[in-house]
Amino acid sequence: MANNDPKAKKPRQIDVLDPQDDSVIDQVPRHTAQEMHEAVGRAAHATERATRMPVHERMRVLRDAADYVENHRQDFVETIAREGVKTINEARSEVARAIWTLRLSADETRRIVGNTIAFDQRPGSENRFGYSRRIPVGVIGAITPFNDPLNLVCHKVGPAIAGGNTVIVKPHSATPLSALKLAEAFEYAGVEEGILQVITGDGSDAGDALVTDERVRMISFTGGRKTGTKIIQRGGLKKYGMELGSNSPTIVMDDADLEQAIPMIVGGAIAAAGQNCLHVQRLLLHESIYERARDMFAEAMSRIRYGDKRSEDTDMGPLIDRAAADRVEQGIREALDAGARCLTGGERDGNFLAPTVLENVPDTAEVAVEEVFGPVTCVSPFRDEDEAIARANAVDYGLQAGIFTSNVDTAFRIADALECGGVMINDSSDYRLDAMPFGGVKGSGIGREGVGYVLNEMTEPKVYCFNIRFPRGWT
């Protein structure tokens, strides 16, 4: 019988489940806070070795790890498609991106440069000459979510090693296997002991120990806003990279090519069954095309095939667990009770939810203001550009947005006015290149990922200033 007492001792192992049928596929250690502190000790001990690793050696390690993932591609694909929410096709694309992210990290390593400083800009400093170089932060704690269990880990591990840091990954307990496999790739690449560790365990225990350990100089976190806020409160004085959630809008103007736009919007609405920080949650349609675009979208969503993740014919997988499916179902129900209309979807089967399109959703409903993190999209009409912008900006998130229009002036004006980290023109909010700066404003986070950009966060400038004693009479 299940023990629901929160104080009850938890088993030493965490069961890793396949979310589509809750079958146990593996077990990983439930490391304790004490064990996490010991891991931090090993990482702190290894920082000098990591710092002294020459650039060519960091590049070699990253390239060899990428080659390992490439040579074991199928294994990584199946791991993601078993432990995670992605279909086999989505898992293939994630593995390809992960290899790219590691190679990009190798490339960026040689671009970690400082700059010379014009000390002679201040009278009296004419004799000074100097420069800055970028030095590693030290021990980095990388805390990752379940939705991209490999590539988002690469986005932290690759730049951390490129920057000469040591890194401890605390993967999500639902999807730890991809991160553990990535550690095998780095072991194959010959990364020295203590430079990379993957420590599995509960967020509130092992994760909290990583956050609160003063030897950890930076927390690079991707996950929910509530968890991110708690981490900053608990962690105190250290650096933070916060990649949080969103409630992304995609705006369709009256001059958009709907035949092109609708399939792209559907793709962004169902990727990872909506468990995607760039998920098209709010679809804003110009009133003159509202009915046609809405019907095209709802019809395309109703044709999405969801089910067995490992089938080549499946478009969309399940939610990560029953609690997540309960939460999203509850959000839909609450919106319907408040007057929303369901155009398609709404059905639930175990951890699966049908792609769901809602209209007439009150602005105060949870699915309108908060991140839904499920396959639910709210459609609504707008009168003009100003209203589209106001509605898009009306939430306390701002990761990315999409705009469809054939008028470049319109695109520029709206893109300029949107409060977010990136605007995709003639695409949905759901596009990311791993090399671009990626992150949000408002409640969507702090800082930017994207390999070259996060490398800046994972290193710090150190200034070297020479007070040169010139010989008398030297000019």
Distance of CA 278 to the CA centre of its chain: 9
Closest to ligand NAD by CB, 410 vs 456, is 456
The rounded distance, in Å, linking the Cα atoms of 30 and 350 is 26
Nearest to 62 by CA among 35, 102, 32: 102
| Comparison of 211 and 304: residue with beta carbon closer to ligand NAD | 211
Smallest distance, Å, CB 173 to ligand NAD? 6
379 in Cβ contact with 230 (< 8 Å): no
Work out how close the CB of 134 gets to ligand NAD at its nearest, in angstroms, rounded to a whole number.
23
CA–CA distance, 384 with 388 (Å, rounded to integer): 6
Minimum Å gap between C-beta 275 and ligand NAD is 7
**Which segments of 72-207 does DSSP mark as H helices, in order?**
73-83, 88-109, 151-162, 177-188
Min. distance of Cβ 201 from ligand NAD in angstroms?
8
Minimum distance of ligand NAD from residue 471's CB (angstroms): 56
Which residue number, 164 or 439, has a Cβ lying nearer to ligand NAD? 439
CB of 158 to ligand NAD, least distance (A): 15
CA atoms within 13 A on the CB side of 436: 11
Q: Using CA atoms, how far apart are residues 184 and 81, in angstroms rounded to an integer?
A: 19
Roughly what angle, to the nearest 10 degrees, separates helices 177-188 and 55-71?
Answer: 120
247 in Cβ contact with 282 (< 8 Å): yes
Q: How far apart are CA 399 and CA 371, in angstroms?
A: 11
Pick the closer one to ligand NAD by CB: 405 or 429: 429
Identify the active-site residue in 83, 243, 359, 371: 243
Q: How far is the CB of 285 from ligand NAD (least distance, A)?
A: 24
Catalytic position from the list 83, 154, 277, 378: 277
Tokens matching residue 423: 């605007």
Residue with Cβ nearer ligand NAD (86 or 294): 86
For residues 133 and 65, give the distance between their C-alpha atoms in angstroms, rounded to a whole number. 27
Q: List the one residue out of 18, 124, 98, 109 whose CA is nearest residue 61.
A: 109
- Fill in the amino acid letter for 295: D
Positions touching ligand NAD (CB under 6 A) are 143-148, 152, 170-173, 203-204, 207-208, 211, 222-224, 227, 230-231, 243-245, 277, 371, 373, 399, 445
Nearest in space to 84 (alpha carbons), one of 132, 151, 142, 17: 17
CA-to-CA distance for 27 and 29, rounded, in angstroms?
7
DSSP assignment of 398-458, as one string? ESEEEEE-S-HHHHHHHHHH--SSEEEETS-S----TTS-B--EETTEES-BSHHHHHHHT
**Separation of alpha carbons 43 and 143, rounded Å:** 15
Nearer to ligand NAD (CB atom), residue 191 or residue 231: 231
277 part of the active site = yes
As measured in angstroms, the least distance from the Cβ of 234 to ligand NAD is: 7
> Does 154 qualify as catalytic in the annotation?
no
**Residue 318 or 445 with smaller CB distance to ligand NAD:** 445
Torsion on CA atoms 66, 184, 134, 47, rounded to nearest 10: -160
Give whichever of 231 and 415 is closer to ligand NAD, judged by the CB atom: 231
| Nearest residue to the partner ligand NAD, using Cβ | 203
Report, as residue numbers or ranges, the catalytic residues. Answer: 243, 277
